[in-house]
Amino acid sequence: MNTNERHVPVMLRRCLDLLAPALAEPGAVVVDCTLGMGGHSEALLETFPAARLIGLDRDPQALELAAERLAPHGDRATLVHAVYDELPDVLARLGTPRVQGVLFDLGVSSLQLDEAERGFAYAQDAPLDMRMDQTRGISAAEVLNTYPPGDLVRILRTYGEEKQARRIVEAVVRERDAQPFDRSARLVELIRDALPQAAKRTGGNPAKRTFQALRIEVNGELSVLERAVPAAVDTLAVGGRIGVLSYHSLEDRLVKKVLAAGATSTAPPGLPVVPERYQPRLKLLTRGAELPADEEIAANRRAAPARLRGAERIREVQE
């Protein structure tokens, strides 16, 4: 199966429209902070023939596949093995301190979900890995087998919004003492057995929230995002635009907070005239978070939880 068949970019038309006003000029640079298999990047390069693209991904396998897909665009695309909070360093190395567009498509890529041995999907048995970059960091199995119970409860509650966190962790600790976890199917079965009947009747697969929590912990997703979105805003030239696709409420709340803060005056209350340095540096481009259309969800179920927010840089920050 080629990358085009495996990966359907989410809210593609809307992302392109959102970034379009910033990318029409020759020499415009757009950064795809979450390259994946290159679906959004390919469309950006095709739609804006005068633009250059910088693509980041922490997953070496994704970079390889994206490089094949984007090869026809030659040196208009520069692909870098990096986590997206490393964006300022990447741009400094490339001699491109300011860019006209930034796109984030957060969450797990189709590649990671579809490759069973990566351990992201609770629907099939696989090694409990969940690292987006398998060359570094600790696996989900190590988290389950070594973290103190209190830390596991906090992770499941905070990152998975799992109401039954304590019950699940008690079962995990009992089981891991007898035999450490290494496969996803065993964890899914344990979660099913640990939950009360009522909890199993709602919200799809009962393992979904635990797998989300482990994945976020293993990849440091929220702490990375917390650094990455403000850094991306800082790299935008005046008139530059940012679009962020989130897939769960924790990500979306964080993105909303950063963009809303940038679009708010920092002036002390009561000033008759607001000096330039206190005025907002961003203009919001979306009313709240925009959702995918019903037709897109029907064609691509992975689009269902997507939430898109966008903003435009409207002034430099004056010290």
Provide the CATH number for the domain around residue 170: 1.10.150.170
- The answer to the question of residue 319 being in a domain is no
| 248 marked as binding residue | no
The proportion of the chain whose per-residue pLDDT surpasses 90, expressed as a percent, equals 72
What average pLDDT does the segment 237-257 reach?
Answer: 96
- From residue 196, alpha-carbon distances to 168, 199, 204, 297 in Å are 11, 6, 14, 31
| 112 marked as binding residue | yes
- The answer to the question of residue 103 being in a domain is yes
Are 248 and 107 contained in the same domain? Answer: yes
- 150 Cβ neighbours under 8 A, 6+ residues apart: none
| 137 marked as binding residue | no
200, 219, 238: which is the final residue of a domain?
A: 219
| 122 marked as binding residue | no
pLDDT tens digits for range 183-238: 999 999 999 999 887 666 666 788 889 999 999 999 999 999 999 999 999 999 99
Please tell me the total count of domains within the chain.
Answer: 2
Are 54 and 135 contained in the same domain? Answer: no
| 262 marked as binding residue | no
| 239 marked as binding residue | no
- Number of helices (H) and strands (E), helices first, in the chain? 15, 7
By mean pLDDT, which of 1-10, 162-171, 215-224 is the weakest? 1-10
- The answer to the question of residue 318 being in a domain is no
Provide the CATH number for the domain around residue 80: 3.40.50.150
Domain residue limits at 151: 119-219
| 81 marked as binding residue | no
Residue, of 145 and 208, whose pLDDT is higher: 145
Task: Give the orientation angle of helix 39-47 with respect to helix 60-70, to 10 degrees.
Answer: 30
Are 138 and 191 contained in the same domain? Answer: yes
175, 203, 219: which is the final residue of a domain?
A: 219
Sign of CA dihedral 138, 142, 147, 149: positive
Q: Alpha-carbon distance 312 to 291, whole Å?
A: 19
